[in-house]
Amino acid sequence: MNAKRNITIDIMKGLLIILMVAGHAQVPIHRFIYLFHMPAFFLISGWLYKSTDNGDLFFIKRKLKGLYKPYVKWNLICLAILIAFPILQQHDAAIPNTLGNISASVIKIFAFRGRTILSDPSWFVYVLFFATIIYNFVSKRLSAIQVGGVICVSFIVTYYVIPNKLEIDNIGSALLLLWLGHLLRVLYNNIDPKYMTAPWILLLTLVSATVLTALLFFTDKELRLIDNELIAPSYFIVASLAGFTFIGCISKIITKLKFLSHSLAYVGRHTLIILFTHIIVFKIVGLLQIYFYELNISEISNYPICYKDRFSWIYYTIAGMGLPLLYEFIGNKAALYNERRKQSKTCSE
């Protein structure tokens, strides 16, 4: 299965998850990162989408296993951590400290509608879950033009009509990105190979980087897909496509560098564990900051990082990436070891 993976896509996902963690760690260029990092993930999902002869139920089961199951698992873990250590919760947030509140929080998690401050980035998972299911349903039943029309209308309705408090408005934006990602894949497959040479890739890199930099001067606001704060639909679309192109071109260049490409591809294959756990890791780093800087313990409730100094984004990013990957590596090795033990016992019997 791994032999069939597109290493450029894995590198793109690796770069994007690093940018996400760095953005949450308050890297100085976080406004630049927020222009495209999460939209690009949805564009990649659209790029990778393939219609199959399997029914809708099969598709939903696959998404339940790949998205819903880890969402529930890690949100329950984060909820348990907050119950055990309520000091981690922000001061203006309700702490689930009664049986009723805890039960309500658990029900919301199982209903795909609840998340904690420690798992806040998991909004991406439930939006991707519903957006991909809707996109799969629509694309199998309508023509390409009809699919485009339905998705554009849904985007307009969710952006201009649906209240933000319902927390479903960004599903329309995600649907648009999935559709655009799929169109990009079709366009890419029809491009003459002579335009995929190094000079053209470098030119695209410079052009897309210039567009992204120029967009920063249009407004002081941040593009926040989590709240569907897109500044303007045209701004959102241009930023998303430019960011996808920028990261895609850089990833294409990196494929020529063996060690770096394999390292980033490895990261790209383990994005979910990083997404779910890096805020937990941030709290561990925060405890170390509180100890060494002699800060008040209440600083631990700050989000996303506890204390910002000149270099904090560097060690927060390293820890936020490194510890989840280490956890995943050890977990995979342990699972492989147990599997081999079972096989050896079966053979001996």
Residue 349: predicted pLDDT? 60
Please give the mean pLDDT across all residues of the chain: 91
pLDDT tens across 10-29, in order? 999 999 999 999 999 999 99
- Sequence-ordered list of residues with C-beta below 8 angstroms from that of 346, at least 6 positions apart, any chain: none
Residue 95: predicted pLDDT? 66
Q: What's the mean pLDDT in 260-278?
A: 96
Residue 346: predicted pLDDT? 67
Please tell me the distance from the alpha carbon of residue 48 to that of residue 45, in angstroms, as a whole number. 5
Query: Which residue is associated with the tokens 């890419």?
Result: 188
For the packed helices 271-293 and 7-24, what is the interaxial angle rounded to 10 degrees?
30
Distance of CA 257 to the CA centre of its chain: 25
Beta strands in the chain (DSSP E): none
- Sequence-ordered list of residues with C-beta below 8 angstroms from that of 320, at least 6 positions apart, any chain: 21, 24, 25, 274, 278, 279, 281, 282, 285
Q: What's the mean pLDDT in 290-301?
A: 92
Cis amide bond preceding 304, omega within 30: yes
Residue 183: predicted pLDDT? 95
More confident residue, 95 or 151: 151
- Cα–Cα distances in angstroms (integers) from residue 24 to residues 54, 69, 130, 258, 317, in the given order: 38, 24, 25, 29, 8
Q: What's the mean pLDDT in 170-176?
A: 94
Closest CA to 114 of 72, 80, 84: 72
pLDDT at 1 over 60: no
Residue 92: predicted pLDDT? 56
Residue 111: predicted pLDDT? 92
Contact 170/226 with Cβ under 8 angstroms?
yes
Residue 2: predicted pLDDT? 46
pLDDT tens across 69-100, in order? 999 999 999 999 999 998 888 765 666 777 88
Q: What's the mean pLDDT in 246-273?
A: 95
pLDDT tens across 29-82, in order? 999 999 999 999 999 999 999 877 788 899 999 999 999 999 999 999 999 999
pLDDT tens across 283-293, in order? 999 999 999 99
Closest CA to 45 of 182, 148, 137: 182
pLDDT at 348 over 70: no
Residue 338: predicted pLDDT? 85
Residue 3: predicted pLDDT? 47
Exposure class string for 280-298: b at 16+ Cβ within 10 A, else e: bbbbebbeebbeeeebeee
